[in-house]
Amino acid sequence: MENIGALSILLAFCFAIYAVIGSVAGKVKKNAFLVVSAERAVYSVWILLSIASGLLIYSLIIGDFRLGYVAAHTDATMPAIYKFTAWWGGQEGSLLLWAWILSTYSAVVVFMNRRKFRDMMPWVTAVLMSTETFFLILISFVLSPFSVLIAGRGNIVEGMGRGLNPLLQYWTMVIHPPMLYLGYVGFTVPFAFAMGSLITKQPGESWIHTTRRWTIVTWLFQSTGILLGQGWAYAVLGWGGYWAWDPVENASLLPWITATAFLHSVMMQEKKGMMKVWNMVLISATFFLCIFGTFLTRSGVVSSVHAFAQSSIGTYFVTFLAIGLAATIYLILDRLPYLKSEARLESVVSRESSFMFNNLILLASCFAVLWGTLFPVISEAVTGEKISVDAPFFNRINIPIAFGLMLLTGIGPLIAWRRSSMESLRRAFLWPSVAGLALMAVLAVFGVYEHPYALVSFGLCMFVTTTVLSEFWKGASAIRAKSGTGLIPAAVELTHRNTRRYGGYMVHMGIVFMFIGYTGAAFNKDVTKEVAPGQSFEVGPYTIRAADVQATENDNYASQKLIAEISRGGKSLGTLEPEHRFYKSSQQPTSEVAIRRRLNEDLYINFAGPSSDNKRAVVQAYVFPLVSWIWIGFWVLAMGTLVCLIPSKIRLSYARTQVVGVAQKHATVEK
């Protein structure tokens, strides 16, 4: 069985190489049959990797402990769903997942474009399959998921398996890695199209139009993966933290930042023909940061609580990155004449300028996070000492950057292209500024003045909310005046007419809500107490009474459950029942916290176990104000992104002057 799996991977590797060579040779020699056969090879790669993945999943589920991977990541007592998710629980399996997702994306891209972009597609195929080849080299020759355990001389000894770390046995962890992979891997596609358009000296817009939806969907997957990680950390790790600026967390954030910058600066290229070189740089940076991110996670080059097993895999990644970067940089520099800008910056007070500042601070944030993450490596290279920086470094830089971004989020949509007059600025921003400052004044009076950052954050959130609402109001009122429908149907119609714009506003509102959630952390409260059964203590406005401790046991774990009665101001609010578990096969203790989630605040109780004299319970209780707004914000962001993907009722056309370059035969008008 495992031989078929290993053979499938090896064959996939051969077909992937053929796809690269066939595409390039077919394009250069103008042999259409070679090109088509290369595209068909892409489908073969997908079929072969699906077989390999299926075999691995099968081995995981039936518990074939002869395989090293199965033994290391499952055990006989695990629920079946976690046996399935062990596919991506370890190094080899997750590389196979990556390769399979890339082959799926590639097959879809090739199929959807089988009659389009005939001049660009061979290069797109070549780039996709080159990346695929790299990952297949890893799982064919270096880290095979199908390697068999050997003990003694040729005897295969079966074990019961080591199981999945119980910290990872959660539904959020079931989908967090696949979501991130769908994001990471997905950015290969717009990059491949960008390279294809560079190589074929296209003027620039076709690849952006084609890949706009891909990039947005990929960005949504990446956002989902990151937020799932935060939600998991919050609910599982026991102290209500959701982000630690850990290197692996940062690795997922870096391409997200450049992709966000890209999604915005791309609008500049569509509407004004500006930033063409910059967009090439951004999409390349996003792709290479994805590869770099997976390198960081897997190579152990920076120590992290998340890291997989250490291995020599790092050298392969560095080689791939070096070759890829060199080729991309050469290509961009060589094609510079075809990427000339069609317009100039006319005023600092303009939408172009606000997009540029948006890009500037997003990239500054990306650079700072990258710098902080790699600081131990850099400092060791420069000074010989390995120095790391921690959360204060990242927060110090990113909080002001976040404020700047919030401000631009409010300003950007309302400021005019080319240049804005003082009068238009006053009209657009008077009420939002007043609203923001008024909220800050009110909150300050209520005691928030002790937290100046929180004050500024809430003020900016109000500013942005007012601008978004005013946009919806203006548009919906106009539609209502003409057609007589109610305000809500008018707003729906408004959104449908221009889904990109109004979907984008929804995404911005999602970010505002997330900001509100993050700002709430300034007001967190926590209390740690050892309580005997029947005793009470207080945290914030709540009284917690430790009523009872119950012990249970099953095959997977032994557990002690604390029954905590909650009340506020004398009124009972029910019970919360946190558990302290001990997982048998991995000998690992975990805490299952109990959370009472409300819009204004969460009450969070962690049962840390019995006290050292075994007579009392150690209980940690926290109040986390506004934290649920993070998750609400994510849902709004996701819905807004989906709205963006719906085709608009009205297709806007921009008449623009097109730079006619050497390779162009005619100027095209934007559709």
Partner 1 sequence: MNTYVKFGAIVVAVIGVLAWLAVGGTNESKSYFKTISELKQMGDQAQVKRVRVDGFVQAGSIVRNGSEVSFVIHQDPNKRAQDNMTLKIVYRGIDPLPDTFKDDAQALADGKLGPDGVFQASKIQAKCASKYEAKPQLKKDSSQAGI
Stretch that binds partner 1, among 56-64, 144-152, 253-261, 278-286 (CB under 8 A): 144-152
- Partners of residue 621 on adjacent β-strands: 527, 605
Q: Which stretch binds partner 1 (CB under 8 A): 157-165, 270-278, 282-290, 545-553?
A: 157-165
Q: Work out how close the CB of 645 gets to partner 1 at its nearest, in angstroms, rounded to a whole number.
A: 33
Distances (CA, A) of 104 to 9, 46, 47, 111, 186: 15, 6, 9, 11, 10
- Which span (147-155, 197-205, 285-293, 569-577) binds partner 1, by CB under 8 A? 147-155
Q: What is the DSSP string of 410-459?
A: HHGGGSPSS---HHHHHHHHHHHHHHHHHHHHHHHHTTGGG-HHHHHHHH
Give dist(CA 275, CA 281) in Å, integer: 10
How far, in whole angstroms, is CA 227 from its chain's centroid?
7
Residue among 22, 26, 68, 432 that touches partner 1 (CB under 8 A): 68
Min separation Cβ 297 and partner 1, Å: 13
Q: Supply the minimum distance, in Å, between the C-beta of residue 295 and partner 1.
A: 18
In the list 4, 150, 329, 437, the residue contacting partner 1 (rule: CB under 8 A) is 150
Told to check if 157 binds partner 1 by CB under 8 A, we report yes
Residue 201 sits in the site that holds partner 1 (CB under 8 A): no
- Asked if 360 interacts with partner 1 (CB under 8 A), we say yes
Min dist CB 396 to partner 1, Å, is 4
The one-character DSSP state at 87 is: G
Give the CA angle between residues 26, 32, 35 to the nearest 5°: 50
Residue 595, φ and ψ in degrees, nearest 5: -125, 135
Two tokens, residue 252? 């997922």
State the pairing for strand pair 557-568/571-576. Answer: antiparallel
Please identify which residue in 133, 218, 585, 641 interacts with partner 1, judged by CB under 8 A.
Answer: 585
User: What is d(CA 638, CA 220) in angstroms, rounded to the nearest whole number?
Assistant: 7
Binding mask 513-532 for partner 1 (x = CB under 8 A): -------------x-x-x--
Please tell me whether residue 340 binds partner 1 under the rule CB under 8 A: no
The answer to whether the Cα torsion of 561, 563, 564, 567 is positive or negative is positive
In the bound state with partner 1, the residue whose beta carbon lies nearer, of 4 and 160, is 160
> Which residues does residue 155 pair with via DSSP β-bridges, in sequence order?
151
Specify burial of residue 665 (Cβ count, 10 A radius: 0-12, 13-18, 19+). Answer: exposed
**Interactions with partner 1, residue window 591-620 (CB under 8 A):** 591, 606, 608, 611-612, 620
Give the closest residue to 168 by CA, choosing from 46, 265, 289, 82.
Answer: 82
- Of 123 and 622, which has the nearer Cβ to partner 1? 622
CA 257 to chain CA mean position, Å: 9
Which among 45-53, 67-75, 122-130, 288-296 is the span making contact with partner 1, rule CB under 8 A?
A: 67-75
Q: Shortest distance, CB of residue 54 to partner 1, whole angstroms?
A: 24
Bridge partners, residue 568, by sequence: 542, 571
Shortest Cβ 155–partner 1 spacing (Å):
11
Stretch 314-333 residues interacting with partner 1 (CB under 8 A): none
Task: Provide the 3-class DSSP secondary structure of residue 617.
Answer: strand
Binding flag, residue 342, partner 1 (CB under 8 A): no
The token pair at 75 is 């055990």
Told to check if 71 binds partner 1 by CB under 8 A, we report yes
How far is Cα 151 from Cα 147, in angstroms, rounded to an integer?
13
- Residue 108 interacting with partner 1 (CB under 8 A): no
Residues 6+ apart with CB under 8 A from 401: 361, 362, 364, 365, 368
Tokens 């209390």 sit at which residue?
527
Residue type, 23: S
CB-nearer residue toward partner 1: 612 or 657: 612
- Nearer to partner 1 by Cβ, of 203 and 412: the residue is 412
Q: Is 165 in the site for partner 1 (CB under 8 A)?
A: yes
Site string (483-502) toward partner 1, x via CB under 8 A: --------------------
Q: Distance between CA atoms of 353 and 469, rounded to whole angstroms? A: 23
**Of positions 80, 160, 323, 329, contacts partner 1 by CB under 8 A:** 160
Residue 158 touching partner 1 (CB under 8 A): yes
| Nearer of residues 499 and 591 to partner 1, judged by Cβ | 591
The enclosing H or E element of 558 equals strand 557-568
- One character per residue 239-278, x = contact with partner 1 (rule: CB under 8 A): x---------------------------------------
By beta-carbon proximity to partner 1, the closer residue of 224 and 606 is: 606
Q: Which is nearer to partner 1, 347 or 470 (CB)?
A: 347
Q: Which of 145, 163, 196, 625 binds partner 1 (CB under 8 A)?
A: 163
Of 73-92, which residues contact partner 1 (CB under 8 A)?
75
- Residue numbers 208-237 binding partner 1 by CB under 8 A: 237
Task: Indicate the DSSP class of residue 65.
Answer: T
CB of 162 to partner 1, least distance (A): 6
Closer residue to partner 1 (CB): 206 or 606: 606
- For residue 98, which amino acid is it? W
Q: Which two tokens stand for residue 6?
A: 């290993």
Determine the Cα angle at 206 with ends 188 and 349, to 5°. 95
Q: How many residues comprise the chain?
A: 671
SS3 label, residue 611: coil
Give the shortest CB-320-to-partner 1 separation in angstroms. Answer: 21
Could you tell me which of 135, 122, 121 has the C-alpha nearest to residue 45?
Answer: 135
Name the residue nearer to partner 1 (CB basis): 227 or 401. 401
Is residue 162 at the binding interface for partner 1, with CB under 8 A as the rule? yes
Question: What part of residues 438-477 is at the interface with partner 1 (CB under 8 A)?
Answer: none
Minimum distance of partner 1 from residue 589's CB (angstroms): 6
**From 14-22, 221-229, 321-329, 360-368, span contacting partner 1 (CB under 8 A):** 360-368
Distance CA 492, CA 475 (A): 10
Residue 12 or 313: the one with the smaller Cβ distance to partner 1 is 313
8 Å CB contact between 211 and 189: yes
589 binds partner 1 per the rule CB under 8 A: yes
Which residues are bridge partners to 558 per DSSP? 553, 582
Query: Which residue of 5, 145, 161, 625 would you call a contact of partner 1, by CB under 8 A?
Result: 161
Rounded Cα distance, 92 and 87, in Å? 9
**To which residue do tokens 């090896």 refer?**
10
Near partner 1 in 376-435, by CB under 8 A: 376, 385-397, 400-401, 404
Return the residues of window 278-317 that contact partner 1 according to CB under 8 A: 303, 305, 307-312
Nearer to partner 1, 32 or 156 (CB): 156
